[in-house]
Structure 1
Amino acid sequence: GLERALFLEADRMRAPRITDENLRNQVDVVKEEIRLNVLNRPYGGFPWILLPPVLYRTFPNAHNGYGDFTELEQADMDDCAQFFDTYYAPANAVLTVAGDISIDDAEELVERHFGDVPARPAPQRPSFAEPPPSGELRGEHADPHAPLPALAVGYRMPDPVNELDGYLANLVLAAVLAEGDGSRLQQRLVHREPLVTDIDAACGLFGPFEARDPDTFIVTAMHSPEVGQDRVLAAVDEELDKLAGAPPSDQELAKVTARWVAGLHREHDRLIARTLAFGSLELLYGDPGLAHSLPDRISAVTPDAVAAAAKALRPDSRAVLTVTPAGGDQ
């Protein structure tokens, strides 16, 4: 129940049991997770690990969040204790409780279990800002498990916190481009002139509202070896140019935003998803209530805003990652 969950989280925040044995066990767990999710599966880490070091230049934005095995093995108990003391503090945490509860009872339980957790100052929140690329950046990754070549194209997006309307226009643009069989890239590159076996467009390496600035607009595609990536890139650029010069019709936009809004309502019907959304939006915006106003904000995105978002995705300010099969005969 709620009280047990609060007790466990408060106990973890109060005094974790950091021992060398526990640390080694957790390092082994993470290494096995990397083997399963990245090293031993087709397109492992594509694009969320492989694209950032091509698009970004600073360590916080470009590095592999998992860490490589050497870095993991170098972690020691002092590192863990310092991280805990710096970041795992009440002043740096958001506790979200949602569901069929009494607010007064929930507050009493939170105070009972968290009230004696030692206070520590919140760490200074750093800026991860860096200039956008001044030209096209290219990278390549050889994948021993990939059956087909793939590419990921990354662009910088508007600041999700300080330029929310521009950010939402990019969310809608991604759906116009690649959500559903009727979307522009699906229609052209999968159906009319089949250059790819799969194509997608998305905001955020892990989805929208998961990161502060800088965030990433991504187009990914898988294609046969007979189709050169430049043909795919040229088609993507042409579709973006069309949208930049002629905004989507009201009817096309209404279909896309209706799907987005329905998806939000469907997602937030699930208690765990609603709870996570409240917490994420509190962290990013200081406003968990944004979860309730996002559907109206997305519905208000205009055709001109989508055209402006498309115009900003320029070939001379992007990263292109190529994944090449490297496993011998495919």
Structure 2
Amino acid sequence: MKWVKIKKAEINEWNEKLKATHASFFQYPYYASGYTFFLFSKPLYIKLVNDQQQELGYSCILNVGAFPFKAGLIIRGPVFFKTNVDHRSSLIALKKFAVKERYTFLRVNANEPAIEELLNTDSEFEHKDYFPSYKGSQGIDLNIYYKPFDELLKSFRTDCRNKIRFANEKNYLFEKVKTSTDLEKVYDLFVGLGSKKKFSYRPLKSYTKIFKEGIKHELCSVYTASLDGRIICAAFIVKDSQSFTYFSGALELQNIPAKYSPANNLHYLIMQDCFYKEDRKIYNLSYSPRESGVYMFKTSFRPEEICKPGFYTYVINRKIAERIFSLQGKSISAIRTKLRSIIKLFNK
């Protein structure tokens, strides 16, 4: 068996093929298409085939930089289609592919514990993250699992249920974004909150690309809550065959008392779409630091904290890999600038 590149003309159809698997949204092409607008990166799509050219597996690799500073990041992958695939042989083939593609290192954080176990027992994969500046996925999911409709609301904490009830006293309009123009209004909300809280969101072009590609396959939705024509709250949702994931969001109440916040109600409505309209089993609120107010908000829904597999790295050029690792104390923009200058030097 071997890993081969997927032809450009075939990439889009993998959004549908992956629906037949338990692949994480991180591996879907619609989501990975958003990488091209930041981090000096682009996605590469590969598939595992046997001697008869049957498709046994798939992976999206986020390529960061270029030779000789070329890192490959597999986030919540790879994905396998057959139950009888020799996973250990597939990892050997993956290492051969990484060498052929001249990666400095290949970092993998699997989606399945069984794959993590193989990585952990492979002496050539180090249990170390050589690119901590961009983890891609978090180590913990905050999952709410399917419950019958009459049990869902009851499962939330009392303060959460109260906010849902209080929000109904306001004349909020809850709806889905339908156009890129409407998405720009949501992004304005993101930027405003980010400026106030001193953090940044990914570029608008990245959200727009994910949104446009995702809705083609019913794999992305953006929900909003508005009052008097102004968007108060928004949630950008990405999907796979098993789950909805709260990818990004914002809440800007201004003069509205906190007890009337529409955020709890908005997520409750999204969960109903997730479980009862689109037949998913998991609503992932995405992890936030325990000391944050956002964590307090998310845990009011009483999600389960699910630990995900860690990071393993196959180092091919140790000297350069260690150099990349040493740069990690700097900002992403500083790393990107450094990589660009070095790559230009080698291309002269």
* TM-score of the aligned structures, taking structure 2 as reference length: 0.26
Structure (1 or 2) with the larger CA radius of gyration: 1
Higher-helix-fraction structure: 1
Higher-strand-fraction structure: 2
* TM-score of the aligned structures, taking structure 1 as reference length: 0.27
